[in-house]
Amino acid sequence: MSDRKYFGTDGIRGKVGQFPITPEFVLKLGWAAGKVLARNNGAKRSKIVIGKDTRISGYMFESVLEAGLTAAGVDSFLVGPMPTPAIAYLTRTFRADAGIVISASHNAFHDNGIKFFSADGTKLPDEVELAIEEMLEQEMETLPSEQLGKAFRIDDAAARYVEFCKASVPNNFSLKGMKIVLDCANGATYKIAPFVFKELGAEVISIFNNPDGLNINKNCGATHLGPLGKVVLGEEADLGIAFDGDGDRVMMVDHLGNQINGDQLILIIAKHLHQLGKLNGGVVGTLMTNMAVETTLQRMQIPFVRSKVGDRYVMEELKANQWNIGGESSGHVICLEHNSTGDGVVAALQVLKALKETERNLHQAVTEDELFPQVLINVRVDDAKMSLKSETLHKAVAQKEQELAGLGRVLIRASGTEPVIRVMVEAQKLDLAQQTAQQLANIIEI
């Protein structure tokens, strides 16, 4: 990724009004993307689906993207506020050449970003991203009027995606008798998620589903489960489901208010598919995936591999192994059998399907495989790379891993955003994990 000037692992993201998240840059980005895609398309007119989450700056960036694409002779299909995975699906169903999502995912409203999907609803190939960056260096030119693109607003996009989500479970699947609390993070799932779960028969209580452009992800959603837990307990609901601002993450709360993370949800889905003989290979986690996931899958003789942290890397491993299930503890749950990217609503439905078919509640499903206590200590250092080269640290880590004897795990890595080394230790007992982590942190601090 180092040869890229603008694209990160998840598109282009930053603070609104600060380069590159400015109207001027995004206008030119739309034009550059349009030119590259038109070039790959020959004489056929290109078309691109544009969706966004609910943050206030989405209006501004939707307009300038549309203008840039129009200037490049590309047609825009505007679908309004829509979850990121919905854009992946709609790009495929409209036979579009690409999809663009205007979103900064779980970030606060003052950030925004631009993310692209290819025609098959997956991340743009590296060579296309690089070609767009090269085009950004050119002078922007508007095509003659007769060659300009057009813009179309798609009114039935939400209904299409609701049906797509419902189609990820069998026709006879019903949530009748279930009381579910949905936390929509004042984000892109605020209309769609309640429709899906109501139409499948659940009694739905929706919270944080009144976006005003400024309250997306604010003390709610997949990154703040406390409020959801309180409502689940107060309403005596069966469970709660939380999405993030753009709907590609999901976390849950059981009927007792316990928080259930992505690792646990992946395990529920994978175990159920395995029991049905439909898992199709193994499971992909990341370096941060709890060791209990690995030991449980090993016990069931299900292959498991770890990727680097980030759903992009999970996807790469899934494709390399031709597997279907993977994700992160943060709630990115990828079910490739159903969608080409992480999809919060679809993943939640797969969990509910597993619970229904095994006649268990969420609490029972997760207590079968208790997560290992995980302790994370951040150690501030002058030079993270230098600190990680310490021979003393390497010897201490090797000794601790030997002491844990396969019933725990040590992970030490540098933060990608600040001068910090993260010390993560898992063990079967919390006090052992705390003690081990602190001893290693003390060595780094010396």
Residue-level pLDDT, tens digit, the chain, 446 residues: 447 899 987 899 999 999 999 999 999 999 999 999 888 776 688 999 999 999 999 999 999 999 999 999 999 999 999 999 999 999 999 999 999 999 999 999 999 999 999 999 998 888 999 999 999 999 999 999 999 999 999 999 999 999 999 999 999 999 999 999 999 999 999 999 999 999 999 999 999 999 999 999 999 999 999 999 999 999 999 999 999 999 999 999 999 999 999 999 999 999 999 999 999 999 999 999 999 999 999 999 999 999 998 888 999 999 999 999 999 999 999 999 999 999 999 999 999 999 999 999 999 999 988 999 999 999 999 888 888 999 999 999 999 999 998 889 999 998 866 789 999 999 999 999 999 999 999 999 87
| Angle, CA of 108, 124 and 141, to the nearest 5° | 90
* Strand ordering across the sheet containing 283-286: 304-307, 283-286, 325-327, 333-335
Q: State which amino acid sits at residue 222.
A: A
| DSSP class of 124 | P
CB 164 within 8 A of CB 196: no
- Told to judge if 105 belongs to the known catalytic residues of this protein, a careful annotator would answer yes
182's enclosing H/E stretch is strand 179-183
pLDDT given at position 415: 80
Specify the CATH number for 374-445; select among 3.40.50.360, 3.30.310.50, 3.30.450.20, 3.40.462.40.
Answer: 3.30.310.50
CA distances from 291 to 250, 264, 371, 403, 408 (A): 20, 11, 7, 16, 7
317's enclosing H/E stretch is helix 311-321
In angstroms, the CA 310 to CA 313 distance is 6
Topology (CATH) of 161-259: Alpha-D-Glucose-1,6-Bisphosphate; Chain A, domain 3 (3.40.120)
pLDDT given at position 1: 45
Listed in sequence order, the residues at least 6 apart from 369 whose beta carbon sits closer than 8 Å to its beta carbon are 264, 267, 292, 293, 296
Token digits of residue 393 = 């640290």
CATH class of 260-367: alpha beta
| DSSP class of 445 | H
Residue given tokens 């003052």 in the structure block: 110
163: three-class secondary structure by DSSP: helix
Main-chain dihedrals φ then ψ at residue 202, nearest 5 degrees:
-75, 155
User: CATH homologous superfamily for 12-155?
Assistant: Alpha-D-Glucose-1,6-Bisphosphate, subunit A, domain 3 (3.40.120.10)
In angstroms, the CA 298 to CA 294 distance is 6
| Angle, CA of 29, 161 and 59, to the nearest 5° | 35
Residue 63 CB-density burial (10 A; 0-12 exposed, 13-18 middle, 19+ buried): middle
Which of 76, 105, 340, 387 is an active site residue?
A: 105
pTM beyond 0.85: the answer is yes
Main-chain dihedrals φ then ψ at residue 325, nearest 5 degrees:
-115, 130
CB 360 within 8 A of CB 112: no
- Tell me which residue of 352, 339, 145, 153 sits closest to 268, measured CA to CA: 352
Report long-range pairs for 276-283 (Cβ below 8 Å, ≥24 apart). 279/324, 279/325, 280/322, 280/323, 280/324, 280/337, 281/321, 281/322, 281/323, 281/324, 282/321, 282/323, 283/323, 283/325, 283/326
Query: DSSP letters along 331-394, please?
Result: SBEEETTT-SS--HHHHHHHHHHHHHHHT--HHHHHHTSPPPPEEEEEEE-S-HHHHHT-HHHH
The answer to whether domain 161-259 and domain 260-367 are alike in fold is yes
In angstroms, the CA 148 to CA 98 distance is 18
* Domain segments of the chain as ranges: 12-155, 161-259, 260-367, 374-445
